[in-house]
Amino acid sequence: MPTQAFVSRQFYSSGKPVGEPNQDDQILEVHNFAVQPASVKVEMGMTINLGDYNSCRISVALVQPCYSEEKDSAWLFAKKWVEERTVEEAEAAKKYAAGLEIGGSNDDQPF
């Protein structure tokens, strides 16, 4: 069972979605387990107010397979990874929006 990460982003203007949602699914690592593994999933989301009734919704999730006796350390690892990635995505969205007139385009789109 691989470690999987999911990141989605959606910009809103006056409460209405702008463009299509963008989702990035990644397989980070593949572990070989001797028995059927357990897994932990940590998910975090935030809505960033971009001003002028514009916002961006970001969701980040990580599914971490582990042995049942390792679930606490796997959860701590997943939680830290999700928190760090959520902050990175929020900063990228703010930078992107700063150079974008909502409804327009931005050639430097990080998403």
Q: Phi and psi at residue 74, in whole multiples of 5°?
A: -65, -40
95 compared with 73, residue with greater pLDDT = 73
Long-range contacts of 18-26 (CB under 8 A, 24+ apart): 18/54, 18/102, 18/103, 22/111
* Strand locations in the chain (E): 2-13, 16-30, 38-51, 54-66
What pLDDT does 92 receive? Answer: 87
Confidence of residue 20 (pLDDT cuts 50, 70, 90): confident
What pLDDT does 1 receive? Answer: 64
For the segment 52-78, the average pLDDT, to the nearest whole number, is 92
The Cα–Cα gap between 27 and 82 comes to 14
What is the value of pTM for the model shown?
0.72
